Structure 1
Protein backbone atom coordinates (compact mmCIF):
# COMPACT_ATOMS: atom_id res chain seq x y z
CA UNK A 1 0.00 0.00 0.00
CA UNK A 2 1.09 3.55 -0.73
CA UNK A 3 -0.67 6.89 -0.98
CA UNK A 4 -1.18 9.84 -3.25
CA UNK A 5 -2.17 13.31 -2.12
CA UNK A 6 -5.39 14.76 -3.46
CA UNK A 7 -5.78 18.45 -4.23
CA UNK A 8 -7.16 19.30 -0.77
CA UNK A 9 -4.31 17.47 0.98
CA UNK A 10 -6.19 14.24 1.69
CA UNK A 11 -4.05 11.12 1.52
CA UNK A 12 -5.62 8.44 -0.69
CA UNK A 13 -4.42 4.87 -0.13
CA UNK A 14 -3.91 2.61 -3.12
CA UNK A 15 -2.11 -0.49 -4.31
CA UNK A 16 -1.15 -1.74 -7.74
CA UNK A 17 -0.55 -5.18 -9.19
CA UNK A 18 0.43 -6.59 -12.55
CA UNK A 19 2.08 -5.14 -15.61
CA UNK A 20 0.88 -3.51 -18.78
CA UNK A 21 -1.33 -0.53 -19.53
CA UNK A 22 -2.72 1.21 -16.41
CA UNK A 23 -6.26 0.43 -15.25
CA UNK A 24 -7.97 2.09 -12.27
CA UNK A 25 -10.88 0.33 -10.52
CA UNK A 26 -13.51 2.41 -8.70
CA UNK A 27 -15.53 0.79 -5.90
CA UNK A 28 -19.20 1.19 -5.14
CA UNK A 29 -20.93 1.83 -1.82
CA UNK A 30 -19.40 0.35 1.34
CA UNK A 31 -16.53 -1.25 -0.56
CA UNK A 32 -12.80 -0.57 -0.39
CA UNK A 33 -9.56 -2.51 -0.86
CA UNK A 34 -10.16 -4.60 2.25
CA UNK A 35 -13.80 -5.34 1.50
CA UNK A 36 -15.49 -5.88 -1.81
CA UNK A 37 -14.84 -7.24 -5.30
CA UNK A 38 -12.02 -5.09 -6.63
CA UNK A 39 -8.98 -6.83 -5.16
CA UNK A 40 -9.93 -10.23 -6.70
CA UNK A 41 -10.81 -8.47 -9.94
CA UNK A 42 -7.43 -6.74 -9.95
CA UNK A 43 -5.68 -10.08 -9.50
CA UNK A 44 -7.66 -11.50 -12.42
CA UNK A 45 -6.63 -8.59 -14.67
CA UNK A 46 -3.03 -8.30 -13.49
CA UNK A 47 -1.68 -10.49 -16.30
CA UNK A 48 -2.66 -7.87 -18.88
CA UNK A 49 -2.75 -4.56 -17.01
CA UNK A 50 -1.13 -2.62 -14.20
CA UNK A 51 -4.21 -2.43 -12.00
CA UNK A 52 -4.76 0.28 -9.40
CA UNK A 53 -7.25 -0.25 -6.59
CA UNK A 54 -7.82 2.43 -3.99
CA UNK A 55 -9.76 3.28 -0.87
CA UNK A 56 -12.25 5.96 -1.72
CA UNK A 57 -12.28 8.98 0.59
CA UNK A 58 -13.31 8.08 4.13
CA UNK A 59 -12.75 4.34 3.68
CA UNK A 60 -10.01 1.94 4.65
CA UNK A 61 -6.69 3.73 4.95
CA UNK A 62 -7.65 6.90 3.08
CA UNK A 63 -8.29 10.25 4.75
CA UNK A 64 -11.59 12.07 4.96
CA UNK A 65 -10.98 15.82 4.99
CA UNK A 66 -14.13 17.83 5.70
CA UNK A 67 -16.34 19.20 4.36
CA UNK A 68 -17.21 16.52 1.84
CA UNK A 69 -18.14 17.41 -1.73
CA UNK A 70 -18.42 15.14 -4.78
CA UNK A 71 -15.78 17.26 -6.50
CA UNK A 72 -13.24 16.08 -3.94
CA UNK A 73 -13.73 12.47 -5.07
CA UNK A 74 -13.14 13.51 -8.66
CA UNK A 75 -9.89 15.11 -7.50
CA UNK A 76 -8.98 11.89 -5.70
CA UNK A 77 -9.41 9.92 -8.92
CA UNK A 78 -7.45 12.57 -10.80
CA UNK A 79 -4.55 12.05 -8.37
CA UNK A 80 -4.67 8.31 -9.08
CA UNK A 81 -4.66 8.91 -12.83
CA UNK A 82 -1.66 11.18 -12.52
CA UNK A 83 0.11 8.52 -10.46
CA UNK A 84 -0.72 5.99 -13.19
CA UNK A 85 1.09 8.07 -15.79
CA UNK A 86 -1.41 10.76 -16.68
CA UNK A 87 -4.23 8.67 -18.11
CA UNK A 88 -5.60 5.14 -17.75
CA UNK A 89 -8.42 2.80 -18.47
CA UNK A 90 -11.11 3.24 -15.81
CA UNK A 91 -13.74 0.81 -14.55
CA UNK A 92 -16.45 1.73 -12.05
CA UNK A 93 -19.10 -0.52 -10.52
CA UNK A 94 -22.44 0.51 -9.01
CA UNK A 95 -22.14 3.97 -7.43
CA UNK A 96 -18.46 3.83 -8.41
CA UNK A 97 -19.69 3.75 -12.00
CA UNK A 98 -21.58 6.98 -11.38
CA UNK A 99 -18.40 8.52 -9.94
CA UNK A 100 -16.33 7.37 -12.93
CA UNK A 101 -18.99 8.70 -15.30
CA UNK A 102 -18.87 12.13 -13.66
CA UNK A 103 -15.07 12.06 -13.77
CA UNK A 104 -15.06 11.36 -17.50
CA UNK A 105 -17.65 14.07 -18.04
CA UNK A 106 -15.44 16.56 -16.21
CA UNK A 107 -12.59 15.85 -18.59
CA UNK A 108 -10.33 13.61 -16.52
CA UNK A 109 -7.90 11.85 -18.89
CA UNK A 110 -9.13 8.33 -19.64
CA UNK A 111 -8.24 5.97 -22.45
CA UNK A 112 -11.47 4.01 -22.20
CA UNK A 113 -14.28 3.86 -19.64
CA UNK A 114 -16.28 0.84 -18.48
CA UNK A 115 -19.36 1.17 -16.28
CA UNK A 116 -21.20 -1.69 -14.60
CA UNK A 117 -24.74 -1.11 -13.37
CA UNK A 118 -24.81 2.43 -11.99
CA UNK A 119 -27.94 2.13 -9.80
CA UNK A 120 -30.10 4.75 -11.45
CA UNK A 121 -33.92 4.49 -11.36
CA UNK A 122 -35.46 5.85 -14.53
CA UNK A 123 -39.04 4.53 -14.51
CA UNK A 124 -41.73 3.05 -12.27
CA UNK A 125 -40.43 -0.53 -12.22
CA UNK A 126 -39.33 0.01 -8.60
CA UNK A 127 -39.98 2.73 -6.01
CA UNK A 128 -37.65 5.73 -6.11
CA UNK A 129 -35.13 6.38 -3.34
CA UNK A 130 -36.37 9.13 -0.98
CA UNK A 131 -34.77 12.44 -1.88
CA UNK A 132 -33.80 13.00 1.76
CA UNK A 133 -32.18 9.57 2.15
CA UNK A 134 -28.64 10.98 2.27
CA UNK A 135 -29.57 13.53 4.93
CA UNK A 136 -31.29 10.91 7.10
CA UNK A 137 -28.32 8.56 6.80
CA UNK A 138 -25.93 11.31 7.92
CA UNK A 139 -28.20 11.95 10.91
CA UNK A 140 -28.14 8.25 11.87
CA UNK A 141 -24.35 8.21 11.75
CA UNK A 142 -24.09 11.44 13.76
CA UNK A 143 -26.36 9.90 16.39
CA UNK A 144 -24.12 6.83 16.67
CA UNK A 145 -26.62 4.58 14.87
CA UNK A 146 -24.24 3.21 12.26
CA UNK A 147 -25.93 -0.18 12.26
CA UNK A 148 -29.23 1.52 11.51
CA UNK A 149 -27.62 3.44 8.66
CA UNK A 150 -26.29 0.21 7.14
CA UNK A 151 -29.64 -1.54 7.55
CA UNK A 152 -31.40 1.42 5.96
CA UNK A 153 -29.09 1.20 2.96
CA UNK A 154 -29.70 -2.53 2.66
CA UNK A 155 -33.45 -1.96 2.64
CA UNK A 156 -33.13 0.66 -0.09
CA UNK A 157 -31.20 -1.78 -2.29
CA UNK A 158 -33.95 -4.34 -1.65
CA UNK A 159 -32.09 -6.82 0.54
CA UNK A 160 -34.76 -8.94 2.30
CA UNK A 161 -35.30 -8.27 5.99
CA UNK A 162 -34.30 -11.77 7.09
CA UNK A 163 -31.01 -11.43 5.18
CA UNK A 164 -30.26 -8.15 6.96
CA UNK A 165 -30.87 -9.86 10.31
CA UNK A 166 -28.42 -12.61 9.37
CA UNK A 167 -25.84 -10.08 8.19
CA UNK A 168 -25.92 -8.37 11.58
CA UNK A 169 -24.56 -11.60 13.08
CA UNK A 170 -21.64 -11.87 10.68
CA UNK A 171 -18.12 -10.48 11.25
CA UNK A 172 -18.38 -8.32 8.12
CA UNK A 173 -21.12 -6.26 9.74
CA UNK A 174 -18.58 -4.33 11.80
CA UNK A 175 -16.68 -3.46 8.61
CA UNK A 176 -19.89 -2.20 7.04
CA UNK A 177 -20.60 -0.02 10.05
CA UNK A 178 -17.06 1.33 9.80
CA UNK A 179 -17.83 2.94 6.44
CA UNK A 180 -21.49 3.82 7.07
CA UNK A 181 -20.57 7.51 7.18
CA UNK A 182 -19.66 7.36 3.48
CA UNK A 183 -23.13 6.28 2.33
CA UNK A 184 -24.17 9.93 1.81
CA UNK A 185 -21.07 10.31 -0.37
CA UNK A 186 -22.41 7.67 -2.76
CA UNK A 187 -25.89 9.16 -2.65
CA UNK A 188 -24.44 12.48 -3.79
CA UNK A 189 -23.53 10.79 -7.08
CA UNK A 190 -26.58 8.60 -7.63
CA UNK A 191 -29.42 10.24 -5.69
CA UNK A 192 -30.43 12.78 -8.36
CA UNK A 193 -30.95 9.89 -10.80
CA UNK A 194 -32.88 7.57 -8.47
CA UNK A 195 -36.18 9.42 -8.56
CA UNK A 196 -37.92 7.36 -11.24
CA UNK A 197 -37.46 9.99 -13.95
CA UNK A 198 -35.75 9.70 -17.34
CA UNK A 199 -32.06 10.53 -17.35
CA UNK A 200 -31.23 14.08 -18.53
CA UNK A 201 -30.20 14.00 -22.16
CA UNK A 202 -27.71 16.84 -21.82
CA UNK A 203 -25.96 15.81 -18.60
CA UNK A 204 -22.96 13.73 -19.76
CA UNK A 205 -22.08 15.37 -23.08
CA UNK A 206 -18.44 15.64 -21.96
CA UNK A 207 -17.97 11.85 -22.12
CA UNK A 208 -16.09 11.39 -25.37
CA UNK A 209 -13.94 8.31 -24.74
CA UNK A 210 -15.00 4.83 -25.88
CA UNK A 211 -17.35 3.58 -23.17
CA UNK A 212 -18.77 0.19 -22.22
CA UNK A 213 -22.05 0.34 -20.30
CA UNK A 214 -22.85 -3.14 -19.00
CA UNK A 215 -25.38 -5.00 -16.90
CA UNK A 216 -26.07 -8.57 -15.82
CA UNK A 217 -28.67 -10.74 -17.46
CA UNK A 218 -30.14 -11.70 -14.06
CA UNK A 219 -30.12 -8.21 -12.57
CA UNK A 220 -33.45 -6.55 -11.70
CA UNK A 221 -35.38 -5.10 -14.60
CA UNK A 222 -35.33 -1.58 -13.16
CA UNK A 223 -31.54 -1.62 -13.13
CA UNK A 224 -31.24 -3.05 -16.62
CA UNK A 225 -33.67 -0.41 -17.88
CA UNK A 226 -31.49 2.35 -16.46
CA UNK A 227 -28.25 0.90 -17.83
CA UNK A 228 -29.72 0.62 -21.30
CA UNK A 229 -31.07 4.18 -21.05
CA UNK A 230 -27.65 5.50 -20.05
CA UNK A 231 -25.94 3.69 -22.92
CA UNK A 232 -28.41 5.28 -25.31
CA UNK A 233 -27.46 8.76 -24.13
CA UNK A 234 -23.69 8.44 -24.53
CA UNK A 235 -22.65 8.82 -28.18
CA UNK A 236 -19.47 6.76 -27.73
CA UNK A 237 -21.06 3.99 -25.64
CA UNK A 238 -21.66 0.33 -26.34
CA UNK A 239 -24.34 -1.49 -24.35
CA UNK A 240 -23.51 -5.01 -23.19
CA UNK A 241 -25.30 -7.62 -21.10
CA UNK A 242 -23.22 -10.26 -19.31
CA UNK A 243 -25.39 -13.40 -19.43
CA UNK A 244 -26.35 -15.00 -16.14
CA UNK A 245 -24.81 -12.28 -13.98
CA UNK A 246 -26.22 -10.04 -11.26
CA UNK A 247 -25.08 -6.83 -9.56
CA UNK A 248 -22.34 -8.78 -7.78
CA UNK A 249 -19.02 -8.78 -9.62
CA UNK A 250 -17.31 -12.09 -10.31
CA UNK A 251 -13.59 -11.73 -10.95
CA UNK A 252 -13.32 -14.36 -13.67
CA UNK A 253 -16.45 -13.38 -15.60
CA UNK A 254 -16.21 -9.61 -15.37
CA UNK A 255 -12.45 -9.69 -15.69
CA UNK A 256 -12.83 -11.34 -19.08
CA UNK A 257 -15.42 -8.74 -20.08
CA UNK A 258 -13.10 -5.88 -19.17
CA UNK A 259 -10.01 -7.44 -20.74
CA UNK A 260 -11.84 -7.80 -24.04
CA UNK A 261 -13.10 -4.22 -23.98
CA UNK A 262 -9.84 -2.60 -22.91
CA UNK A 263 -7.68 -4.70 -25.23
Structure 2
Protein backbone atom coordinates (compact mmCIF):
# COMPACT_ATOMS: atom_id res chain seq x y z
CA UNK A 1 0.00 0.00 0.00
CA UNK A 2 1.31 3.45 -0.99
CA UNK A 3 0.03 7.02 -0.90
CA UNK A 4 0.54 10.13 -2.99
CA UNK A 5 -0.69 13.70 -3.03
CA UNK A 6 -2.38 14.94 -6.19
CA UNK A 7 -2.06 18.35 -7.81
CA UNK A 8 -5.47 19.12 -6.27
CA UNK A 9 -4.09 18.41 -2.79
CA UNK A 10 -5.90 15.12 -2.20
CA UNK A 11 -4.17 12.14 -0.60
CA UNK A 12 -4.79 8.94 -2.55
CA UNK A 13 -3.98 5.42 -1.40
CA UNK A 14 -3.15 2.72 -3.91
CA UNK A 15 -1.67 -0.75 -4.39
CA UNK A 16 0.97 -1.41 -7.04
CA UNK A 17 1.65 -4.78 -8.66
CA UNK A 18 4.29 -5.95 -11.15
CA UNK A 19 7.72 -4.78 -12.32
CA UNK A 20 8.40 -1.05 -12.37
CA UNK A 21 9.81 -1.01 -15.92
CA UNK A 22 6.83 -2.74 -17.59
CA UNK A 23 3.80 -1.35 -19.42
CA UNK A 24 1.13 -0.27 -16.97
CA UNK A 25 -2.59 -0.65 -16.31
CA UNK A 26 -4.57 1.75 -14.12
CA UNK A 27 -8.03 0.66 -12.99
CA UNK A 28 -10.75 3.29 -12.55
CA UNK A 29 -13.66 2.05 -10.47
CA UNK A 30 -17.22 3.16 -10.98
CA UNK A 31 -19.57 4.57 -8.36
CA UNK A 32 -19.12 2.91 -5.00
CA UNK A 33 -16.28 0.38 -4.77
CA UNK A 34 -13.20 0.66 -2.60
CA UNK A 35 -10.14 -1.57 -2.75
CA UNK A 36 -11.35 -3.39 0.34
CA UNK A 37 -14.70 -4.43 -1.14
CA UNK A 38 -13.57 -5.07 -4.72
CA UNK A 39 -11.57 -8.30 -4.63
CA UNK A 40 -12.16 -8.93 -8.34
CA UNK A 41 -10.13 -5.90 -9.44
CA UNK A 42 -7.44 -6.59 -6.85
CA UNK A 43 -7.07 -10.18 -8.06
CA UNK A 44 -6.95 -9.02 -11.67
CA UNK A 45 -4.17 -6.57 -10.82
CA UNK A 46 -2.25 -9.24 -8.91
CA UNK A 47 -2.43 -11.62 -11.87
CA UNK A 48 -1.27 -8.85 -14.20
CA UNK A 49 1.72 -8.27 -11.95
CA UNK A 50 2.60 -11.94 -12.11
CA UNK A 51 2.46 -11.80 -15.91
CA UNK A 52 4.96 -8.94 -16.05
CA UNK A 53 2.57 -5.98 -16.31
CA UNK A 54 2.39 -3.09 -13.86
CA UNK A 55 -1.07 -2.58 -12.36
CA UNK A 56 -2.40 0.04 -9.96
CA UNK A 57 -5.64 -0.14 -7.99
CA UNK A 58 -6.56 2.90 -5.92
CA UNK A 59 -9.24 4.11 -3.57
CA UNK A 60 -10.87 6.93 -5.43
CA UNK A 61 -10.94 10.38 -3.84
CA UNK A 62 -13.39 10.39 -0.94
CA UNK A 63 -13.48 6.60 -0.53
CA UNK A 64 -11.82 4.02 1.69
CA UNK A 65 -8.23 4.96 2.48
CA UNK A 66 -8.43 8.14 0.33
CA UNK A 67 -10.74 10.19 2.59
CA UNK A 68 -12.00 13.61 1.55
CA UNK A 69 -14.74 15.63 3.19
CA UNK A 70 -17.73 16.86 1.21
CA UNK A 71 -18.36 16.88 -2.53
CA UNK A 72 -15.60 15.63 -4.85
CA UNK A 73 -15.35 17.21 -8.31
CA UNK A 74 -14.51 15.41 -11.53
CA UNK A 75 -11.40 17.59 -11.83
CA UNK A 76 -10.08 16.24 -8.52
CA UNK A 77 -10.57 12.67 -9.71
CA UNK A 78 -8.82 13.43 -13.00
CA UNK A 79 -5.90 14.90 -11.00
CA UNK A 80 -5.71 11.64 -9.02
CA UNK A 81 -5.60 9.58 -12.22
CA UNK A 82 -2.83 11.76 -13.63
CA UNK A 83 -0.77 11.41 -10.44
CA UNK A 84 -1.23 7.64 -10.35
CA UNK A 85 -0.33 7.24 -14.02
CA UNK A 86 2.85 9.21 -13.38
CA UNK A 87 4.01 6.51 -10.95
CA UNK A 88 4.38 4.16 -13.94
CA UNK A 89 7.09 5.33 -16.37
CA UNK A 90 5.93 3.44 -19.47
CA UNK A 91 2.70 3.58 -21.48
CA UNK A 92 -0.36 3.26 -19.24
CA UNK A 93 -3.69 1.74 -20.28
CA UNK A 94 -6.76 3.06 -18.47
CA UNK A 95 -9.35 0.44 -17.54
CA UNK A 96 -12.72 1.91 -16.64
CA UNK A 97 -15.46 -0.05 -14.93
CA UNK A 98 -19.10 1.03 -15.31
CA UNK A 99 -19.35 4.81 -14.76
CA UNK A 100 -15.57 4.78 -14.37
CA UNK A 101 -15.55 4.30 -18.16
CA UNK A 102 -16.76 7.86 -18.66
CA UNK A 103 -14.10 9.17 -16.30
CA UNK A 104 -11.47 7.14 -18.17
CA UNK A 105 -12.64 8.55 -21.51
CA UNK A 106 -12.20 12.09 -20.25
CA UNK A 107 -8.87 11.39 -18.53
CA UNK A 108 -7.50 9.67 -21.64
CA UNK A 109 -7.48 12.88 -23.67
CA UNK A 110 -4.84 14.39 -21.38
CA UNK A 111 -2.69 11.30 -20.81
CA UNK A 112 0.86 11.96 -22.06
CA UNK A 113 1.65 8.26 -22.67
CA UNK A 114 -1.64 6.45 -23.09
CA UNK A 115 -1.20 2.76 -23.82
CA UNK A 116 -4.84 1.86 -24.41
CA UNK A 117 -8.40 2.46 -23.22
CA UNK A 118 -10.47 -0.46 -21.95
CA UNK A 119 -14.11 0.14 -21.00
CA UNK A 120 -16.00 -2.55 -19.12
CA UNK A 121 -19.79 -2.22 -19.48
CA UNK A 122 -19.95 1.54 -19.98
CA UNK A 123 -23.50 2.70 -19.08
CA UNK A 124 -23.77 5.15 -21.97
CA UNK A 125 -27.13 5.68 -23.61
CA UNK A 126 -28.83 3.87 -20.73
CA UNK A 127 -30.98 6.73 -19.40
CA UNK A 128 -34.35 7.26 -21.13
CA UNK A 129 -34.13 11.03 -20.67
CA UNK A 130 -30.37 11.12 -21.35
CA UNK A 131 -27.51 11.29 -18.87
CA UNK A 132 -27.40 15.12 -18.70
CA UNK A 133 -31.05 15.34 -17.56
CA UNK A 134 -30.64 12.38 -15.18
CA UNK A 135 -27.54 13.91 -13.61
CA UNK A 136 -29.17 17.35 -13.27
CA UNK A 137 -31.86 15.72 -11.13
CA UNK A 138 -29.31 13.98 -8.92
CA UNK A 139 -27.29 17.19 -8.58
CA UNK A 140 -30.40 19.09 -7.47
CA UNK A 141 -30.88 16.64 -4.59
CA UNK A 142 -27.21 16.96 -3.57
CA UNK A 143 -27.33 20.75 -3.65
CA UNK A 144 -30.43 20.73 -1.43
CA UNK A 145 -28.83 18.30 1.04
CA UNK A 146 -31.27 15.51 0.17
CA UNK A 147 -28.52 12.90 0.03
CA UNK A 148 -30.73 9.81 0.40
CA UNK A 149 -32.90 11.06 -2.45
CA UNK A 150 -29.72 11.70 -4.45
CA UNK A 151 -28.54 8.11 -3.97
CA UNK A 152 -31.96 6.76 -4.96
CA UNK A 153 -32.06 8.96 -8.06
CA UNK A 154 -28.54 7.90 -9.03
CA UNK A 155 -29.46 4.22 -8.72
CA UNK A 156 -32.55 4.43 -10.94
CA UNK A 157 -32.95 1.30 -13.05
CA UNK A 158 -30.37 -0.69 -11.08
CA UNK A 159 -31.19 -3.89 -9.15
CA UNK A 160 -32.97 -2.92 -5.88
CA UNK A 161 -30.70 -5.20 -3.85
CA UNK A 162 -27.76 -2.95 -4.79
CA UNK A 163 -29.50 -0.01 -3.11
CA UNK A 164 -30.36 -2.16 -0.08
CA UNK A 165 -26.68 -3.04 0.27
CA UNK A 166 -25.67 0.62 0.05
CA UNK A 167 -28.05 1.52 2.86
CA UNK A 168 -26.10 -0.81 5.13
CA UNK A 169 -22.84 1.06 4.47
CA UNK A 170 -21.55 3.26 7.32
CA UNK A 171 -20.82 5.96 4.73
CA UNK A 172 -24.44 6.09 3.49
CA UNK A 173 -25.79 8.49 2.27
CA UNK A 174 -22.69 10.73 2.21
CA UNK A 175 -21.03 8.32 -0.22
CA UNK A 176 -22.90 10.15 -2.99
CA UNK A 177 -20.28 12.92 -2.71
CA UNK A 178 -17.65 10.62 -4.25
CA UNK A 179 -20.05 9.71 -7.06
CA UNK A 180 -20.11 13.28 -8.39
CA UNK A 181 -17.21 12.58 -10.81
CA UNK A 182 -19.16 9.61 -12.21
CA UNK A 183 -22.37 11.51 -12.85
CA UNK A 184 -20.55 14.54 -14.18
CA UNK A 185 -18.48 12.41 -16.56
CA UNK A 186 -21.44 10.39 -17.85
CA UNK A 187 -23.38 13.58 -18.55
CA UNK A 188 -20.40 15.25 -20.20
CA UNK A 189 -19.56 12.29 -22.46
CA UNK A 190 -23.16 11.99 -23.66
CA UNK A 191 -23.44 15.75 -24.14
CA UNK A 192 -20.20 15.93 -26.14
CA UNK A 193 -20.88 12.70 -28.01
CA UNK A 194 -18.83 9.51 -27.78
CA UNK A 195 -17.21 10.09 -31.18
CA UNK A 196 -16.03 13.56 -30.15
CA UNK A 197 -14.57 12.21 -26.93
CA UNK A 198 -12.67 9.43 -28.72
CA UNK A 199 -11.67 11.33 -31.85
CA UNK A 200 -8.15 12.16 -30.68
CA UNK A 201 -7.33 8.71 -29.29
CA UNK A 202 -5.09 6.68 -31.60
CA UNK A 203 -4.28 3.78 -29.26
CA UNK A 204 -6.53 0.70 -29.05
CA UNK A 205 -9.98 1.31 -27.54
CA UNK A 206 -11.62 -1.89 -26.32
CA UNK A 207 -15.24 -1.91 -25.16
CA UNK A 208 -16.03 -5.06 -23.22
CA UNK A 209 -19.13 -6.67 -21.74
CA UNK A 210 -19.65 -9.83 -19.74
CA UNK A 211 -21.12 -12.98 -21.21
CA UNK A 212 -24.09 -12.37 -18.88
CA UNK A 213 -24.84 -8.66 -18.95
CA UNK A 214 -27.64 -6.12 -18.60
CA UNK A 215 -29.84 -5.00 -21.50
CA UNK A 216 -28.25 -2.27 -23.59
CA UNK A 217 -24.65 -2.87 -22.51
CA UNK A 218 -23.63 -4.80 -25.63
CA UNK A 219 -25.15 -2.11 -27.84
CA UNK A 220 -23.27 0.59 -25.93
CA UNK A 221 -20.00 -1.34 -26.39
CA UNK A 222 -20.62 -1.63 -30.14
CA UNK A 223 -21.33 2.11 -30.35
CA UNK A 224 -18.06 2.91 -28.58
CA UNK A 225 -16.13 0.58 -30.89
CA UNK A 226 -17.72 2.17 -33.95
CA UNK A 227 -16.89 5.68 -32.72
CA UNK A 228 -13.20 5.03 -32.03
CA UNK A 229 -10.58 5.10 -34.77
CA UNK A 230 -9.04 1.90 -33.40
CA UNK A 231 -12.07 0.52 -31.59
CA UNK A 232 -13.29 -3.01 -30.96
CA UNK A 233 -16.02 -4.58 -28.86
CA UNK A 234 -15.75 -7.97 -27.19
CA UNK A 235 -17.50 -10.25 -24.75
CA UNK A 236 -15.51 -11.86 -21.95
CA UNK A 237 -16.47 -14.22 -19.15
CA UNK A 238 -18.38 -12.22 -16.56
CA UNK A 239 -21.74 -11.62 -14.91
CA UNK A 240 -23.54 -9.05 -12.76
CA UNK A 241 -21.46 -6.19 -14.14
CA UNK A 242 -18.18 -7.88 -13.16
CA UNK A 243 -15.50 -9.92 -14.91
CA UNK A 244 -13.52 -13.11 -14.34
CA UNK A 245 -10.07 -12.03 -13.03
CA UNK A 246 -8.07 -14.68 -14.89
CA UNK A 247 -9.76 -13.98 -18.23
CA UNK A 248 -9.62 -10.21 -17.84
CA UNK A 249 -5.97 -10.16 -16.74
CA UNK A 250 -4.98 -12.28 -19.74
CA UNK A 251 -6.86 -9.98 -22.11
CA UNK A 252 -5.30 -6.85 -20.62
CA UNK A 253 -1.82 -8.37 -20.73
CA UNK A 254 -2.25 -9.11 -24.45
CA UNK A 255 -3.36 -5.54 -25.07
CA UNK A 256 -0.49 -3.79 -23.30
CA UNK A 257 2.28 -6.28 -24.09
CA UNK A 258 1.39 -7.15 -27.70
CA UNK A 259 -0.88 -4.29 -28.75
CA UNK A 260 -3.77 -6.60 -29.63
- How would you bin the TM-score normalised by the shorter chain? 0.7 to 0.9
Question: Which residue is equivalent to 1:74?
Answer: 78
Change over 3 Å in CA distance of 1:34–1:142 after alignment to 2: farther
Change over 3 Å in CA distance of 1:42–1:193 after alignment to 2: same
236, 241, 249: which one pairs with 1:247?
A: 241
Asked if 1:167 corresponds to 2:165, the answer is yes
Question: Which residue is equivalent to 1:233?
Answer: 227
CA contact (8 A) 2:124 2:186 kept: yes
* Counterparts of residues 38-117 of structure 1 (less than 5 Å): 38-48=41-51, 49-64=53-68, 68-85=72-89, 87-117=91-121
Change over 3 Å in CA distance of 1:166–1:76 after alignment to 2: closer
Shift of 1:66: 7.4
Task: Give the number of equivalent residue pairs.
Answer: 253
Shift of 1:62: 1.9
Secondary structure of 2:216's partner?
helix
Q: Which runs of 5+ in 1 are unaligned?
A: none
Question: Which residue is equivalent to 1:259?
Answer: 253
35, 44, 49: which one pairs with 1:33?
A: 35
Question: Which residue is equivalent to 2:212?
Answer: 218
**What's the Cα RMSD here?**
3.0
CA contact (8 A) 2:114 2:203 kept: yes
Q: Which runs of 5+ in 2 are unaligned?
A: none
Secondary structure of 1:188's partner?
helix
CA contact (8 A) 1:32 1:60 kept: yes
Instruction: Please identify runs of 4+ aligned residues in structure 1 that moved more than 6 A.
Output: none
Most deviating of 127-136 and 79-88: 127-136
- TM-score normalized with structure 2 length: 0.81
Instruction: Measure the CA separation in 1 of the matches of 2:129 and 2:36.
Output: 31
Asked if 1:186 corresponds to 2:178, the answer is no
CA contact (8 A) 2:11 2:67 kept: yes
Most deviating of 5-14 and 245-254: 245-254
Change over 3 Å in CA distance of 1:58–1:167 after alignment to 2: closer
Change over 3 Å in CA distance of 1:241–1:33 after alignment to 2: same
Question: Which residue is equivalent to 2:153?
Answer: 152
State the Cα deviation string for residues 144-177 of structure 1 (Å, max 9, x = none): 65444434333x24214xx2575367x5x33554
CA contact (8 A) 1:10 1:65 kept: no
CA contact (8 A) 1:33 1:53 kept: yes
- TM-score normalized with structure 1 length: 0.81
